[in-house]
Amino acid sequence: LQTTPMKNGTSPSDFILLGLLVDSRVTGIVFTVIFAIFVVAVTANLVMIFLIQVDSRLHTPMYFLLSQLSIMDTLFICTTVPKLLVDMVSKEKTISFVACGIQIFLYLTMIGSEFFLLGLMAYDRYVAVCNPLRYPVLMNRRVCLLLAAGAWFGGSLDGFLLTPITMNVPYCGSRSINHFFCEIPAVLKLACADTSLYETLMYICCVLMLLIPISIISTSYSLILLTVHRMRSAEGRKKAFTTCSSHLTVVSIFYGAAFYTYVLPRSFHTPEQDKVVSAFYTIVTPMLNPLIYSLRNKDVTGAFKKIFVRCSAAQKVATAGA
């Protein structure tokens, strides 16, 4: 690919992101909504990370894994939304060849890591409910660190495998990507070579990326349901369902959208539908995850209230001293 600059400041290797293709009359409203979601998502995830770090009651394996999820969600939404917001208010909607590759790598790494982490979080819930006495041993700090590292490694492996292949495919003719970020299926439509073999391999890779965590999740929750069914205590059942329901909600939302995008054949969806689904799990899901876990979790809300009371007391002391 040539990289000689053109008169308009772009190069022949630059891509053009067509964006969400919303009606120009409602661009301002859509921009405001997406910006608000972005701010809420980043703030909620950072608050979640902060609370887990400062409150000793949250220094448990479940919350350690949850802090990793918040880190992934923060990086995930920052990979796509800032560029989308800039494109919505600017005439130039180009993205350089290198920037497109970086976006693909980060996107694949974050989504792959989150796939694996959600599976590991289901295993954590299985151990907590089915083997509570052995939980401190089976989920000690070393194991938690290894599980988190494994999730990050699995996601980055996906990025390292697929990104170089995608960016080495010859692209010619139209440089307009019918999407709001460099998602592989949308980018490959611009290829001027036969990519059917690569797309088949990518399909198999994505199915495996989904199948492994889903198998862990299905097995874990099947065993959890059996254990809960045998419980005599109604309070024990309620606690088990409460601790698992938030995770199941997040899993259903995230995997449902991913299954639609990467597993269903193309004949079942259009580029416009793809953009809507992609917007949902790249923009909305990172906001929903911390809200689902915080609003439905007494420990997290308790930690937040504790920090809020401390800050209010400190502010009163400072005001009185002044």
In order along its 322 residues, the chain shows pLDDT tens digits of 444 344 455 566 789 998 886 667 788 888 999 999 999 999 999 999 998 898 888 889 989 999 999 999 999 999 999 999 999 888 888 999 999 999 999 999 999 999 899 899 889 989 988 888 899 999 999 999 999 999 999 999 989 999 999 999 898 878 888 889 998 888 988 998 888 888 888 888 888 888 888 888 889 888 888 888 777 777 767 766 766 777 777 778 777 877 777 777 766 777 777 888 888 888 888 888 888 777 667 777 777 778 777 777 777 776 766 6
Q: What is the 3-state secondary structure (H, E, C) of 147-173?
A: HHHHHHHHHHHHHHHHHHHHHHCCECC
So what's the pLDDT on residue 320?
A: 67
CA distance 13 to 10: 8
**Architecture (CATH level 2) of domain 15-299:** Up-down Bundle (1.20)
What residue segments make up the domains of the chain, in order of their start?
15-299
So what's the pLDDT on residue 6?
A: 43
CA distance 291 to 40: 10
Using alpha carbons, select from 143, 8, 159, 1 the residue that is nearest to residue 62: 143
So what's the pLDDT on residue 212?
A: 86
So what's the pLDDT on residue 236?
A: 66
So what's the pLDDT on residue 321?
A: 64
CA distance 1 to 91: 25
- Contact by Cβ (8 Å): 134, 127: yes
So what's the pLDDT on residue 275?
A: 84
